[in-house]
């Protein structure tokens, strides 16, 4: 739950805290590590206990503390020792005691305390409260932290807003829990309110696109793009689903929706875009063994980083042109991808109606399975190749396709 984007502007969350998040992108864990490790300012912690004793505390005790509250000043290197002292020496005498950190801590420093408590101190638990610069963390004995009541709807809305804020470059000083509190209290204002409205509008369009992809309805995608200009913009920008982090092109590749793949490419979807896991649509099609989708993506010009390992892939996919795929269905290659051989060239003199028959269901399906077969040994037994999602093919048809691809290569 740690985001790695720019800090929310001062008009949204107030002035910056000491040691706040850096501006700019980057991985959340990396930013957290840099922000927390670079801060040498001692942390102010208030020990709230009825025993009024800080005997044995490894941190510096500040003079003049109020009754029932002992102010401590500790460096981050002392955090583990202080938590151990609190667990073993304070809680046995006063189970309701707590360590209340001052709100000068930034988001990453609070996260570091949370992580240490969860990993090393099973008898302790943490809780954060407040919004913006008033947000602070406290450590309690397990079972004594105040319980938060969060509705399922508010949690889901906060998760979406958190994703929108990260995409917009906001969030270094706001957490999903904090956004949930804002949503439940109805106090979402300023820039975060604008991000929410714009994000919900985009997600509504994305939901419609994903629904058409799920139905493998290329016509519906084209009609939607005509009615909603935002569709093309989102596809060309590589917009992701806020809930799954997936792109429509990857969703189509995962389920083998070849009609949707062609329509998305026609509408400007980037064939080389990576999803939240760093995978391209071509990689996704291979992970889920969607050979038809793999062949379509290769025909559309997707760059194949494994071409040097499996040289028959592109040749097998190109057989689709000789097996019934109209030229209009195969746009030119995307920038940076290898040029596709001219139509028919890959068949050459080897093509013979008596020896090679187009498999039922269209050329691309046969080409798709041929692309998959090129990454494994050519089968020698009847039924070794099975069938694709579009129907059964004979062993002779498969071996014929593999033989032609091997000769061309």
H-run or E-run covering 45: strand 43-48
Q: State the chain's mean pLDDT as an integer.
A: 73
Beta sheet of 60-61, edge-to-edge order: 60-61, 69-74, 43-48, 98-101, 136-141, 124-129
Q: What is the pLDDT of residues 316-335, one digit of tens each?
A: 555 554 444 444 444 444 44
Confidence check: pLDDT of 130 > 90: no
pLDDT at 364: 44
Structure confidence at residue 119 as a pLDDT band (50, 70, 90)? very high
| Residues 186-206, mean pLDDT to the nearest whole number | 87
| Residues 250-256, mean pLDDT to the nearest whole number | 95
Dist CA 80 CA 164 (whole Å)? 35
pLDDT at 316: 57
Top mean pLDDT of 94-98, 167-171, 363-367 is at 94-98
Of 96, 112, 141, the residue that ends a domain is 141
Of 110, 141, 172, the residue that ends a domain is 141
Q: Could you give the number of structural domains in the chain?
A: 2
Closest of 51, 56, 77, 73 to residue 64, by C-alpha: 73
| Residues 156-172, mean pLDDT to the nearest whole number | 82
Confidence check: pLDDT of 248 > 90: yes
Of 97, 126, 141, the residue that ends a domain is 141
For residue 132, the domain's CATH number is 3.30.1370.50
Dist CA 222 CA 265 (whole Å)? 11
| Residues 200-228, mean pLDDT to the nearest whole number | 94
In-domain check, residue 328? yes
pLDDT at 62: 85
Model-level pTM greater than 0.85?
Answer: no
pLDDT at 402: 53
Q: What is the pLDDT of residues 55-107, one digit of tens each?
A: 888 998 887 666 678 889 988 899 999 999 999 999 998 999 999 999 888 88
In-domain check, residue 280? no
In-domain check, residue 332? yes
Confidence check: pLDDT of 235 > 50: yes
Higher pLDDT, 55 or 385: 55
In terms of residue numbers, what domain contains 136?
A: 10-141
Confidence check: pLDDT of 13 > 60: no
pLDDT at 313: 57
In-domain check, residue 335? yes
In-domain check, residue 373? yes
pLDDT at 380: 36
Confidence check: pLDDT of 222 > 70: yes
In-domain check, residue 250? no
pLDDT at 19: 40
Give buried/exposed letters for 287-311 (b at 16+ CB in 10 A, else e): eeebbbbbbbbbbbbbbbeeeeeeb
Other C-beta atoms within 10 Å of 102: how many? Answer: 12
pLDDT at 219: 95
Confidence check: pLDDT of 169 > 90: no
Lowest mean pLDDT segment, chosen from 192-206, 263-277, 362-376: 362-376
SS (H, E, C) 128-157: EECCHHHCEEEEEECCCCCCCCCCHHHHHH
To the nearest 10°, the Cα dihedral for 224, 228, 229, 230? -100
| Residues 107-117, mean pLDDT to the nearest whole number | 90
């Amino acid at each position: 739950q740690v985001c790695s984007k720019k800090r929310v502007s001062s008009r949204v969350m107030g002035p910056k805290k000491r040691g706040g998040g850096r501006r700019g992108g980057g991985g959340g864990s990396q930013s957290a590590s840099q922000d927390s490790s670079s801060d040498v300012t001692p942390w102010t912690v208030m020990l709230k206990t009825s025993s009024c004793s800080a005997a044995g505390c490894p941190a510096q005790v500040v003079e003049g503390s109020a009754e029932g509250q002992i102010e401590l000043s500790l460096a981050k290197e002392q955090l583990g020792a202080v938590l151990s002292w609190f667990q073993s020496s304070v809680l046995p005498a006063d189970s309701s005691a707590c360590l209340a950190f001052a709100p000068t801590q930034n988001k990453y420093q609070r996260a570091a305390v949370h992580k240490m408590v969860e990993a090393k101190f099973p008898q302790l638990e943490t809780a954060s409260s407040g919004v913006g610069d008033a947000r602070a963390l406290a450590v309690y004995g397990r079972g004594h932290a105040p319980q938060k009541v969060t509705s399922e709807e508010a949690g889901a809305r906060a998760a979406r807003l958190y994703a929108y804020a990260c995409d917009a470059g906001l969030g270094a000083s706001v957490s999903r829990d904090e956004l949930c509190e804002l949503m439940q209290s109805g106090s979402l204002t300023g820039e975060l309110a604008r991000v929410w409205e714009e994000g919900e509008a985009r997600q509504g369009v994305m939901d419609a696109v994903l629904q058409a992809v799920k139905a493998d309805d290329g016509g519906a995608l084209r009609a939607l793009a005509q009615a909603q200009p935002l569709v093309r913009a989102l596809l060309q920008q590589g917009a992701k689903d806020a809930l799954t982090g997936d792109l429509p092109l990857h969703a189509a590749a995962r389920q083998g929706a070849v009609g949707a793949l062609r329509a998305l490419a026609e509408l400007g979807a980037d064939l080389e875009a990576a999803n939240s896991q760093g995978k391209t649509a071509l990689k996704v099609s291979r992970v889920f063994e969607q050979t038809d989708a793999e062949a379509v993506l290769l025909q559309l010009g997707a760059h194949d980083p494994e071409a040097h390992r499996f040289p028959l892939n592109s040749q097998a996919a190109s057989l689709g042109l000789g097996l019934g795929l109209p030229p209009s269905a195969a746009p030119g290659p995307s920038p940076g991808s290898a040029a596709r051989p001219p139509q028919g060239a890959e068949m050459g003199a080897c093509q013979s109606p008596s020896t090679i028959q187009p498999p039922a269901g269209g050329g691309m399906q046969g080409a798709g399975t041929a692309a998959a077969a090129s990454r494994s040994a050519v089968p020698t037994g009847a039924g070794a190749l099975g069938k694709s999602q579009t129907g059964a093919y004979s062993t002779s048809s498969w071996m014929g396709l593999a033989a032609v691809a091997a000769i061309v290569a």
